[in-house]
Structure 1
Amino acid sequence: MSEHPVSPFDPNPPRRNFYGRRHGKTLRQSQKGYLSEDLGDLRPRGITIAENPERRQIDPATIFGDDRPVWLEVGFGGGEHMVHMAARYRQIGIIGCEPFINGVAMLLGKIRAAGVSNVSVHPGDARDLMDVLPDASVERAFLMYPDPWPKARHHRRRFVTPEHLLPLARIMRPGGEFRVASDIPDYIRQTREEVPLAGFALVADTAEPWEDWISTRYEQKALREGRAPHYVTFRRL
């Protein structure tokens, strides 16, 4: 990965390495249908360099049609948490980022089932989205059970590093909330160390979930395997 955050106005940003999976098991026919029929209308426009060669910023109001509060979920997995939040808080707009296409297909099926319309889906790297969102445009961000990258030499690939946290801090509104959930003690350790350095204050650090939490399949797997979930909340300074 690059050691320096990419400017949202840089027309020739450095090439980024991507280490996660983009494809998994063969998609079911219904999931292929979700991708072909639903994804196009839910994608925020102007994210890729090909679509936006000058890296101009996008206005979240054009995504949701008004100036409602915008939330961001980084790596939504199967989409349980994102759809739950969209259904519970209909007055907000939530953008989800996920490069794993199987997870995107799962999310689209949940969106159909829940009938929520206050969602937008970026099927790619969250860094590309953060590049083009305006300063102080996101009120709440979620990092729910991110890829742990357990080997020490891979810790720089984690989201809780300056390459990701500094762009996140730029797009977060002062006072905005950043939530992190993980069952990996060393990930929580790195989160506690790195996030405050990017301009956030620690608000809560607990084994008890948030009041509006919904347990995801990743959390259920952690509990089955004897790992204790942990929930950390930060506030943008």
Structure 2
Amino acid sequence: MNTASPPAVVAEGLAFSYASGGGVRRADLTLGAGTMTAVEGPSGSGKSTLLALLGLILSPAAGSLHIDGAATHALQAAERDLLRRRSIGIVLQDLGLLPFLNAWENVAAAFGPRLARHRTAARDLLGDLGMGELVDSPVAELSGGQRQRVAVARAAVKQPVLVLADEPTSGLDPATARSVLRSLRACAEWGAAVLVVTHDAAVTGACDRRQVLDDGVLSAVDAGAAGTPGAVREGEPA
């Protein structure tokens, strides 16, 4: 009997274009639970549009997108919003943290305004990501890498099916970048499909698979080109 789990995400012929030009011309992608995939591509190749499509922020003009078995392209707007809130975590390039909240409060904010209800879950998750001593720290007092890990924790705290990260190591030194990558790898180990948009070869090397987006077309690259899956390990310096 075949007991293999279905893919977390399946996109077929996904497309979206802007009146001014650009966008995604065709994206075929399958993401398995517990995997990390890197997407590379030059500026203007459609990476931001791809993230917006996978994150259910944009609706595709063509193609199909299934997330956790749901045919998202056939859902009404309210249903898409509900699926996004329940099943997708997003790490924005600008992080989007709330400066008037501390670390655990920013993580708990993923659930809504009643932060205290989710205090334990938020603090425990930050501890799992090596931030246990900083859970009460104002985010304005955290380093760039620490803020990135808070953003990863916020994306992961609802146990999403899919975690999307936009240039998560941009502007970080190599050691700090490794700590952020370990946090993203932890999301995959907890069962999420993780997709990372990046220009960083170290990020690509830490992923299981590599995809290239060029002129709006997404293409898979041989798995061996992505380096050793999970290459960033706990024993490395942070």
TM-score, normalised with respect to structure 1: 0.30
Q: Pick the structure with more strand per residue.
A: 2
Higher relative contact order by CA 8 Å / sep ≥ 6: 1 or 2? 2
TM-score, normalised with respect to structure 2: 0.30
